[in-house]
Structure 1
Amino acid sequence: MEFSFLDSFINAAKLSFKLILVITLLMIFYEFFENSKLYIKLQSFLERPLGKVGFTPNSSITMVVGLVLGIAYGAGILVRNAMSGKMSSKEVLLSSLFLSVCHAVFEDTLLFVAIGGNGVIILGTRIFLAVAVALIITRYIKL
């Protein structure tokens, strides 16, 4: 079967529509989630472990979104929180660096496990490196 330019364009448009739909639904969900009691509980639960690395409760949700859903979704929440003034420049930098090292931990780890990788080593190394980078930035670079 031969594909034409029109077939490629139609497939690209379908994919773009699906991505727009998913991202829009996630952002709508986040708007409702941000105003819920569960959001506050999750922030307080994450405050202690992430606070030791240098993150505040406002940046903790960005971390969760980025870790679970990936860097694109995490960046969307990060940009939104930064523009609304909920995160300082230091938090934006820490979150960006952390997510660049350790994002989409479930998806990426499962992909590497599917081709024969050791999931525990992959996941452990990524989390260790992300925490190490955040600690180094927090302790040795003044912002």
Structure 2
Amino acid sequence: MLSYLITICVRSVRMFTTVARIMLPVMLIVYIADRLGLVRLSGEVLAPVMGLLGLPPEAGIIWATTLLTNIYAGMATMAVLSDNLQMNVAQISALGAMMLFAHNIPTEQSIVRKAGASALITGGLRLGIGALYGGLTAWICNAFGLLQAPVSLAWMHHDEALQQGPQDFLTWIWNTAESMVLVFVVIVALVLLLDVLERFGITRQITRLLTPVLRLSGLEERAAPLTTVGVLLGLAYGGALIIEAADRENFSPRTRLLALSWLSLCHALIEDTVLILAIGADIWVVLVFRTLATLGILALMARLTLPGTPWGNRLQADARPGRGPG
């Protein structure tokens, strides 16, 4: 029993160290950029784009903050702007979906790159699909008069936790340390859980149930449990498991690309979705149709990366010694 626990701990520490080496430098760079006002500047640059998508200019600042940091910071920015921010359910749902598709890009796509897929492709996918989905949601709802009820954000203005500005350095260090401890605890729990599921044959049952979805998305069956973990809990945890599993089980470049594209577009399905629902978004837009859109994108990517296609041939070339993801 003791040797088993030691093995689990060693494996978990190795996975955590790999992820921490990626996350911490990127998180520090983003924090400095935020303190210098570069995040808000990025939002002002995005303001004209928001107009094209049928969203108010302030949505640019909110999305830019979310893109470079996380959904919590995006909600905090929304709270700061809430006095002058007037949006209906359709617009909140569109912006919320954009935040879910694309957030914390620097940190999460660094993890994706380490796991074996192109950060440029997966990051561009998140930005492009996020903007397209948000724009289509706003345009369709406006054209057909759907979800036009106004949303009150007054409660956010009175929430002191959301109203806080950028953290001072000591607070940032403390909060970052808490986040990293949480990441480690979750990784240990997931390693234990996956080992138990494997020993009792539950993993095979889960994989069998997911077979239709796997065929549609082009994934190998071996990647199903790890992808499911990331979809439900988050990219940091799913990415850490895939980094380890990709080396251990020698996943093909195509499997890595498809699995990590899936995780990039749709992860932390429970926690993040609940946050966006709390600000007044519609569950059909931010959960049901978003998940279906993700599966549709994966099905298309699976077709485009089949052996013999230009993209498929390039992925096969990347599998050769000395080649790696961009």
Q: Same fold (TM over 0.5)?
A: yes
User: Equivalents in 1 of 2:189, 2:283: separation in Å?
Assistant: 30
| Structure 1: stretches of 5+ with no match in the other structure | none
User: Equivalents in 1 of 2:169, 2:304: separation in Å?
Assistant: 53
User: Equivalents in 2 of 1:19, 1:74: separation in Å?
Assistant: 11
- 1:137 maps onto 2:291 in alignment: no
User: Equivalents in 2 of 1:70, 1:45: separation in Å?
Assistant: 21
Q: Which amino acid letter does the alignment assign opposite residue 272 of structure 2?
A: D
Structure-2 residue corresponding to 1:73: 237
TM-aligned CA deviation for residue 42 of structure 1 = 0.7
CA separation of 1:9/1:54 partners in 2, compared to 1, >3 Å: closer, same or farther? Answer: closer
Structure-2 residue corresponding to 1:53: 217
Q: Which amino acid letter does the alignment assign opposite residue 133 of structure 1?
A: I
| Structure 2: stretches of 5+ with no match in the other structure | 1-167, 313-326
Structure-2 residue corresponding to 1:114: 278
User: Equivalents in 1 of 2:199, 2:276: separation in Å?
Assistant: 36
User: Equivalents in 1 of 2:300, 2:169: separation in Å?
Assistant: 50
- Summarize deviations over 1:66-90 as a string: whole Å, max 9, x none: 1111111111221122111252211
Correspondences of 1:1-143 after superposition (within 5 Å): 12-85=176-249, 87-141=251-305, 142=309, 143=312
CA separation of 1:15/1:63 partners in 2, compared to 1, >3 Å: closer, same or farther? Answer: closer
Q: Secondary structure at the match of 1:59?
A: helix
Q: Secondary structure at the match of 2:249?
A: coil
The TM-score, its normalising length taken from structure 1, stands at 0.82
TM-aligned CA deviation for residue 15 of structure 1 = 4.5
User: Equivalents in 2 of 1:7, 1:53: separation in Å?
Assistant: 42
CA separation of 1:129/1:17 partners in 2, compared to 1, >3 Å: closer, same or farther? Answer: same
- Summarize deviations over 1:79-117 as a string: whole Å, max 9, x none: 122111252211110011111111111111111111100
Q: Which amino acid letter does the alignment assign opposite residue 210 of structure 2?
A: L
Q: Which amino acid letter does the alignment assign opposite residue 259 of structure 2?
A: S
Contact 1:97-1:133 at 8 Å conserved across structures: no
Q: Which amino acid letter does the alignment assign opposite residue 36 of structure 1?
A: F
CA separation of 1:22/1:90 partners in 2, compared to 1, >3 Å: closer, same or farther? Answer: same
User: Equivalents in 1 of 2:287, 2:173: separation in Å?
Assistant: 37
Q: Give the share of equivalent positions with the same residue, in percent.
A: 26
CA RMSD in angstroms, aligned pairs only: 2.4
User: Equivalents in 2 of 1:113, 1:12: separation in Å?
Assistant: 26
CA separation of 1:115/1:42 partners in 2, compared to 1, >3 Å: closer, same or farther? Answer: same
Number of corresponding residues: 141
Contact 2:211-2:221 at 8 Å conserved across structures: yes
The TM-score, its normalising length taken from structure 2, stands at 0.39
User: Equivalents in 1 of 2:220, 2:257: separation in Å?
Assistant: 13
Contact 1:82-1:92 at 8 Å conserved across structures: yes
Q: Secondary structure at the match of 2:217?
A: coil
CA separation of 1:36/1:121 partners in 2, compared to 1, >3 Å: closer, same or farther? Answer: same
| Structure 1 range deviating more: 60-69 or 119-128 | 119-128
